[in-house]
Amino acid sequence: SQQGEEDPQALSIQEGENATMNCSYKTSINNLQWYRQNSGRGLVHLILIRSNEREKHSGRLRVTLDTSKKSSSLLITASRAADTASYFCATDEGIQGAQKLVFGQGTRLTINP
Amino acid sequence: DTAVSQTPKYLVTQMGNDKSIKCEQNLGHDTMYWYKQDSKKFLKIMFSYNNKELIINETVPNRFSPKSPDKAHLNLHINSLELGDSAVYFCASSQEVLAGGPASTDTQYFGPGTRLTVL
């Protein structure tokens, strides 16, 4: 079953602006991860936040996690044209030996030059 | 030096045929996965193998049979292809043998995908 709901489904902003994407999930998790998918390509891991963390930064990325609300947000600051892609959150519900990533439906981000 | 590779990249075939997709990773990872991404970009896990052992088997028709000859390879064979099988199939791998537990901080590395079109 689909775990994550992402909001918005599509986002179009001007280069240099900040982009915020939200993700909600339903069950308890080990961690939550964000991935990027460029058109016609595979997914690339961006950042992971553990269930006992509230905020994490990586370069221009900032991720927050609120386990009480079962939600996460991804902020991309000072956006660039190369950030144009689909962004997916994924929750890890895995068992020993393998992750079981359950993905949201993604946010399509378009950065206009 | 591609980390996770899949062949073929595109596969067009007739309904009822049997086809295979191959996946190889040169990262030395213990765990490999198959995902299906439908036309709405919804990505769903199908299978996972850890060191050649099946760990995750989601509700997938038994026409789909994964095979892992060694921990660097996880192939997907599909029998009697149906129109609804049309999708992009992604292979992925991850390192941590203990992946999946509460302490897991592992991430997955994805292949470029195989676009399967069933006519």
Identify all chain B residues contacting A92, using CB atoms and an 8 Å cutoff. 100, 104
Cβ burial A40-58 (10 Å sphere, 16+ → b, else e)? eebbebbbbbbeeeeebee
- What pLDDT is stored for residue B24 in this prediction? 97
Identify all chain B residues contacting A95, using CB atoms and an 8 Å cutoff. 55-56, 100-101
Query: Domain residue spans in chain B?
Result: 4-96
Length of chain A: 113
| Cα(B113)–Cα(A41) distance, integer angstroms | 7
Residue A28 CB burial class (10 angstroms; 0-12, 13-18, ≥19): exposed
Identify all chain A residues contacting B110, using CB atoms and an 8 Å cutoff. 35, 42-44
- What percent of chain A is predicted at pLDDT more than 90? 71
Is the predicted pLDDT of residue A69 greater than 60, yes or no?
Answer: yes
Please give the class, per CATH, of domain B4-96: mainly beta
Question: 3-class SS at B32?
Answer: strand
For an interface test with B, which of A29, A32, A43, A108 has the most B Cβ atoms less than 10 Å from its Cβ? Answer: A43
- What pLDDT is stored for residue B96 in this prediction? 64
| Cα(B51)–Cα(B85) distance, integer angstroms | 27
Question: Most confidently modeled of A2-11, A13-22, B33-42, B43-52?
Answer: A13-22
| Angle value at C-alpha A7, between A75 and B87, nearest 5 degrees | 105
| Cα(B96)–Cα(B55) distance, integer angstroms | 14
Residue B115 CB burial class (10 angstroms; 0-12, 13-18, ≥19): middle
* Fold adopted by A5-112: Immunoglobulin-like (2.60.40)
- Listed residue (A62, A112, A103, A106) closest to B36, CA to CA: A103
